[in-house]
Chain A
C-alpha cells in the first residue's frame, strides 16, 4: 500500500521550567508559534491539529483540547486528541504523521504539553485503589522494583545509574530549553543525593516541568519545497506503536515484549538491519537513569544484560559511538505530556542539523522513542536526513 512520504519541516518548544507563568493556552501557543516560524508558515497554512497530553486529571482541566482550539488556530479545522499516558507526545506525533501519510491532510500541526506547576502529578499517580492498601508511591515507587530486577538480572554495578544521570545533566547544559542546568553537578553529587525510592536517587530522577513541544509535518511536496529553500527537513523512515496489558502473569517489565516488537517493526520499515551500526543517535524516554541501559537492551542495541556496559564504556556520551539523550532527556526536563514529543523532535532536530551545542556531527539517522503507563505503551520513529 503506497503512502505519502512525510517530512518534518518545523519544530518548536518552550524553555522548560519549573513554572511557566503563561496559561496552558499560552504555553502551547508559544511552542506552536515557534514551530510555524521554523516552517515559514502561518496558522492559515495548517490543515489539521493533533494534540496530546498526559491524563487530564493532572491539571484538572478535562478535555483541554476543546478550549485550546482557539490558541492553536484550530477553529473550523479537524482537531484530534491522543491519550497514551507518558508516551503520548510520541503517539501524538505518529497520529499526525499518519494523517499526512494517508493523504488526508497536507500540513498538520502537532502539539503536546504539560503544566506540572498547576498539578500534582506524583500524587495523582498515587491514588488509593479500592480494597487495596495505599501502596502507590509515585512513578518512582512503581518503577524502582523493576530497576532492582534489572540490576539483579544483569549484575550491573551501582554506578551505572549515576553515570547516566551525570551524562544527561551535562548534556542539558548545552540545551537552552532544558529545565535543569546544574553547572556544578559531579559524579559525587549524584552519588550522595538522597535515595528517594531505593535504588533510585534524587539526582537519578526527572524533574517536574512546565512546557510544550510542537512540530509541523507535511508531505513530500512540502518537504521538497523546504529543502529547495535550504531548510533541510527530517524525513520519516519508519513509525510504530505497541501496547500491552499492565498486568499478566509472567509479564517482563524489565524488557517488555511490546517495546521489543515496536523496535523491530520500526527498524524493518526503515531498512535497519543493525541498529547499533545504522543509527547515529538516539533520543529515548529515560525518566529514571537506569532506564537507559534497560531500553538499550529493549531496543536491540546490544544483547540482553549488556546495556550497562555501553553506559560504562561511554558509548552513549554525546561524543560517544552512539549518543543517547543529547538534549539532556527526560532526566533534565519533564513536561510529561510533551516529553515523548520532545524525544521525537530532538531526533528530527539532529538529522536536520539544528541541535545547536548538542548536535551530533553528521547525524543522518536518528531514533525517537517514548514509553508510558506501566512500561506498556511504546511509540517510536526513525527519521533521516535522506528522503526514503
Chain B
C-alpha cells in the first residue's frame, strides 16, 4: 500500500476548507439611442427625460419606450436640478468598493417633472436628518470632469426648500 498520509511537517496544519478567488468581467456596453441622448445632455449639466404619449408619464433615465404602454417615447422633457426624496436607506454595510464612509444614505429621488425616481447619494446633511419629502438638489463635478454618466452628479444635498407634501410623491413611495 502506498502511504498517502500527509508529510510529517504538515500534520499539525489546519485543513483548508475554502479559498477566495476573485473574478472580474470587462465588457463594452452600448447605451442605445434614448440613453445616449440623455447622457449627451448630462455632459451639458441638463437632465432630460422622455414622456410617454399615452400615459404621459415622464421617464428618467429614458429607455426609449414606455414599459406600461409599449410605445416609443420621443417627446423630451427638461427636468429640474432639484427633486424630492420619496424613500431612502441608511447603508451601514461597506459597499461601493469601500469608497464611502458608512453610514451613508442612498435615496430614491423624484426629480421635478419626472414620474419615476432615480437612486442617488445624499450628502452635506447628517444621515439621521434625512427624511421622506426632503427637497434636494444635484451637486455636479467640476466642469472639466463631467462626462456622459450620472456619476457626473457627485451627490444630492438639501436645497433649503420646505418639505414636499406626501401627496406629491406618494405614487412612488
Contacts and interface: CB of A to CB of B under 8 A. Distances in A.
B156 to A, nearest CB: 11
A126 B94 CA distance: 12
Q: How large is the interface on A (under 10, 10 to 19, 20 to 34, 35 or more residues)?
A: 35 or more
Interface string B153-173: 100000000000010000111
A149 B110 CA distance: 14
Interface stretch (A94-102, A190-198, A291-299, A344-352): A190-198
A197 B151 contact: no
Contacts of B99: 134
Given A21-B17, A134-B96, A135-B106, A249 B116 contact: yes
Nearest to B110: A249
A130 B29 contact: yes
Nearest to A198: B90
B88 A132 contact: no
B121 interface: yes
A359 to B, nearest CB: 35
Interface string A255-279: 0000000000000000000000000
Given A131-B39, A141-B106, A248 B148 contact: no
Interface of A: 19, 21, 60, 117-118, 126, 130-138, 140-141, 144-146, 148-149, 152-153, 194-198, 245, 247-251
29 contacts: A19-B17, A60-B23, A118-B18, A130-B29, A131-B31, A131-B61, A131-B148, A131-B151, A132-B119, A132-B151, A133-B121, A136-B95, A141-B89, A141-B95, A144-B88, A145-B87, A145-B89, A148-B89, A149-B132, A152-B173, A195-B92, A196-B93, A247-B67, A248-B57, A248-B68, A249-B55, A249-B57, A249-B115, A249-B172
Interface of B: 17-18, 23, 29, 31, 35, 39, 55, 57-59, 61, 66-68, 86-93, 95-97, 99, 103, 106-108, 115-116, 119-121, 132, 148-151, 153, 166, 171-173
